[in-house]
Amino acid sequence: MSLRHRRKGEVADLAENEVVDNETPKSRRVGVNPIAKVRIALVSVFVLAIVVITLHSLWNTGKGPTRMAMRSDIPSTRGSTIVVGGGLAGLTAAVTALEHGCRSVTIIEKNAFLGGNSAKATSGMNSVNTNESDSPDRFIADTLKAGHEINDENLVQMVAFQSAGALRWLRETLKLDMKDSTRLGGHSFRRTWRFSPMPDGRPQPVGWTIMKTLMDALKSDEYKDRLNIKLNSAVKGFLGSEENGVLGVLSESSGEMEEIRADAVVLASGGYCAGGDILLKYAGENAKFPTTNGPWATGDGITFGMEFGAAARDLEHVQVHPTSFVNKSDPFATTNFLAPESLRGTGGILVNGEGRRCVPTQARLTATLV
């Protein structure tokens, strides 16, 4: 099966750039229905990396060599902050703001729970492997190649040079033991980090484990007097003007509208591949495919941001991921569960309904299937 979502220019681990090797010694078969295609949620390894890196790097100059100019004008104490979205990006922003002395943080989440699509991530998080002869420059080269050279090069450089610091933050601040690494599609080194298997051999779910740890951190006594979490609350727009900038948000809960003002607003509301106007407008040819997104991923924040004057790019670049778990009793369901790239990274191969391999050696995987 194929899945869908991710801007093409973003990273080296896109499944569409995966190289298949017929010489893989220990392979396991992964069945594929080449007819049904699925839109991938924002849950794969790169997204885990970029949201932590982007938000963490705003507050941290990091350690070790870097070519990226990081923010140095942020004071040690701040006023109030609104975070729109309760996924990995949002909770990372909230924890980091509280760590650095923010007086009050309000998380606004339209669902009845936190986690978003981030909680579904299973493959791992990408970071330069300092245990091997890997380097940020090699990470950059792999990413540009995988993105067909249309990447945002500033973003690629930030990811490559700040990835080790973001991983260190997860390990040292959140005490997450992400020590196992593997090499997945598009990478020339073992850059995908995850947790060691549980005692019974089962893998630890990467996304859920990170999200649960962040949720627990936010519940600590240290932050309880400075944190407000509003669930079942949907942001309907921004408060402010072109002259004054964003001053807050307009939120709706149980039919009641509320204006919430703050000194800063972090927009971390996720993607748009569960459907909605953005998907139809920019990538409508993919709207007929099933998705692995949760129903909440409708691009609301992107829409409100653009209406307020924010710029967006590459919205037409949506990944078609090659595998998902399919319910035999409902093979054409509009929503399926992701069968992650890690299955292929550990030796899985793709076969057709007759049990024959359907992707040639050294092929670009999704391009061949589609």
Under 8 Å CB-to-CB from 180, ≥6 apart: which residues? 193, 194, 195, 196
160 — phi, psi (to 5°)?
-65, -45
- Catalytic residue among 5, 6, 344, 364, which? 344
114 — phi, psi (to 5°)?
-90, 165
Residue entry with tokens 């054409």 = 332
Active site includes 356?
no
Give the separation between CA 43 and CA 293, rounded to whole angstroms: 8
Give the separation between CA 344 and CA 366, rounded to whole angstroms: 13
Active site includes 187?
no
CA distances from 326 to 6, 86, 224, 297, 337 (A): 21, 28, 42, 21, 7
Helix ranges, the chain (H): 45-59, 88-99, 136-146, 153-172, 206-218, 277-283, 300-308, 342-345, 365-369
Q: Where does residue 73 rank: exposed (0-12), middle (13-18), buried (19+ CB within 10 A)? A: exposed
Check: CB of residue 191 under 8 Å from CB of residue 180: no
- Catalytic residue among 191, 317, 321, 364, which? 321
For helices 206-218 and 45-59, what crossing angle results, to 10°? Answer: 30
156 — phi, psi (to 5°)?
-60, -45
Check: CB of residue 320 under 8 Å from CB of residue 17: no
Residue entry with tokens 């902050």 = 81
252 — phi, psi (to 5°)?
-120, 130
Give catalytic residue positions: 321, 344
